[in-house]
Amino acid sequence: MIRQYYSVNEKYRKDTGQLNITPRFLFGSGPANAYPRVLQAIGSRQIANRDPQFVDLIKDIQSLLRYAWQTDNAFTLPISGTGRNAMEAVAANLIEPNDRILVGVNGFFGNYICEAARRYGAKVFKLKGEIGAAFSLSAIEAQLKRVRPKVFFLIHGQSASGTCQPMEGIGELCHRYDTLLVLDTVTSLGAVPVFLDHWKVDAAFTTGHRCLSCPPGISAFTFSERALRVIRNRKSRIANSTTDFSGLIRRKVSSRHYLYTLPINLVYGLREALQILAEQGLEVTWKRHRETAEALWEGLAEMGLRCPVHPDIRLPNLTAVDIPDTVDADRIRPYLLKEFNIEISSGLGDWQGRVWRLGLMGINSRRANVVLLLSALKNALAVHRRAFFSETAG
């Protein structure tokens, strides 16, 4: 038995070597490529999660997140995992059994929030909207008035469609109906204006691997004082032990006593990504994403490709593009990956097979990448239009 295992190990020793991944241009819905500075930071020496240096590092991240989100929330923290983990942390802390929860669903990811809320015993109501469209204030108020929810979950940047939800007035409505407003900024933070305090948002979450250009595995969330009061006054225990932050909230401790060990090196990466955002400045970063997007949209229009989302509510970092009837959609993405090392995303939900999703996020939001992406897409369409017509003619 020992010799058998030894021979297997010998095989791997002979046939494989150091990991060598082909570099890709990540021009899909996420993750985006990481900043070189971020990757360099991730390779820094490890320290323990209770090291004084790490405590100071968390404090830096808290301050930088407050800047990125434009909030003064004291309870603002990174958390291990993707944006879905951060969403779970927010849901677990705010939701108790039989709470009435309203979720804006105008794309694929709203259903994730609904499922999480149900698992915590909530009575879930949906504010249904069309994919590729935003919710109106009147539609939101009608549902708030009818449901009287404890919490309203809303996605700011809908990555299923590349739609950005206008936020003015929504926070005021939620306060009027005694509802907490929770905002998903996973796809929007770092690309478009986000003003949590001005918008009267009570909780928000995001991830590092989209417009912050950090590798996947680290995310963040924040609670307002209004949300913290709700958590302090809970009548039931928080169901998810790994995201139970009630003890930290009661002790008013937010950086020294974590529930578990964070992914230390990814925390380094998040700190560096947020530092880059601060150095560039929010307004400069928003402007860069917008100018890059407009160049992409102009190029797509010149190629005869249609973007189904109205420009007024279109995310500048993620663009949905209608797939032409004259090509086999399943061939384009593998072709781009093989010939150009370019990754783009397919549609989700109702738009599965109908659109491609093109992402130019964070470090990828540059004019040079617009030229590269448009040229590669033009070549792919030309090749596969020829193949399509020859096959249909045959």
Q: pLDDT tens digits, the chain, 394 residues: what are they?
A: 445 555 556 655 556 677 889 999 999 999 999 999 999 999 999 999 889 999 999 999 999 999 999 999 999 999 999 999 999 999 999 999 999 999 999 988 899 999 999 999 999 999 999 999 999 999 999 999 999 999 999 999 999 999 999 999 999 999 999 999 999 999 999 999 999 999 999 999 999 999 999 999 999 999 999 999 999 999 999 988 888 888 888 766 544 556 578 999 999 999 999 999 999 999 999 999 999 999 999 999 999 999 999 999 999 999 999 999 988 888 999 999 999 999 999 998 889 999 999 999 999 999 999 999 999 999 999 998 765 555 554 5
Q: Do residues 288 and 257 both lie within one domain?
A: no
- What was the pLDDT predicted at 10? 61
Residue 14: inside a domain: no
Rounded Cα–Cα distance for residues 356 and 350 (Å)? 13
* Residue in the structure block whose two tokens are 């539609």: 139
Q: Do residues 60 and 200 both lie within one domain?
A: yes
User: What Rg do the C-alpha atoms of the chain give, in angstroms?
Assistant: 23
- What was the pLDDT predicted at 52? 92
Residue 45: inside a domain: yes
Q: Do residues 274 and 285 both lie within one domain?
A: no
Q: Do residues 112 and 186 both lie within one domain?
A: yes
Q: Do residues 316 and 274 both lie within one domain?
A: no
Residue 343: inside a domain: yes
Question: Which pair of tokens denotes residue 307?
Answer: 């973007």
Q: Are 173 and 141 in contact (CB under 8 A)?
A: yes
The domain that contains 167 carries what CATH number?
3.40.640.10
Residue 20: inside a domain: no
Q: Are 215 and 185 in contact (CB under 8 A)?
A: no
- What was the pLDDT predicted at 19? 83
Residue 266: inside a domain: yes
Residue 275: inside a domain: yes
Helix, strand or coil, per DSSP, at residue 283: helix
Cis peptide before 149 (omega within 30 of 0): no
Domain stops at, among 233, 252, 279: 279
Q: Do residues 169 and 311 both lie within one domain?
A: no
From its phi and psi, is residue 65 left (phi > 0), alpha (psi between -120 and 50) or beta?
alpha
Q: Do residues 206 and 146 both lie within one domain?
A: yes
Number of domains in the chain: 2
* Residue in the structure block whose two tokens are 């204030």: 137
Q: Do residues 235 and 318 both lie within one domain?
A: no
Q: Are 186 and 83 in contact (CB under 8 A)?
A: yes
Domain stops at, among 254, 279, 304: 279
Residue 11: inside a domain: no
At position 352, the amino acid (one-letter code) is Q
Rounded Cα–Cα distance for residues 174 and 367 (Å)? 40
Return the half-sphere exposure (C-beta side, CA atoms, 13 A cut-off) of residue 320.
28
Ordered DSSP codes for 85-148:
HHHHHHHHHH--TT-EEEEEESSSTHHHHHHHHHHTT-EEEEEE--TT-PPPHHHHHHHHHHH-
Residue 300: inside a domain: yes
CA 104 to chain centre: 16
- The domain in which residue 127 lies consists of 36-279
The domain that contains 291 carries what CATH number?
3.90.1150.10
From the list 379, 98, 64, 11, the residue with the least C-alpha distance to 220 is 64
Instruction: Give long-range contacts, CB 8 A cutoff, 24+ apart: 201-207.
Output: 201/71, 201/167, 201/171, 202/174, 202/226, 202/227, 203/90, 203/94, 203/227, 204/69, 204/71, 204/90, 205/83, 205/86, 205/87, 205/89, 205/90, 206/69, 206/83, 206/86, 207/30, 207/82, 207/83, 207/86
Rounded Cα–Cα distance for residues 106 and 200 (Å)? 22
Q: Do residues 145 and 205 both lie within one domain?
A: yes
Domain stops at, among 279, 312, 329: 279
Q: Do residues 271 and 287 both lie within one domain?
A: no
Q: Do residues 332 and 257 both lie within one domain?
A: no
Q: Do residues 141 and 253 both lie within one domain?
A: yes
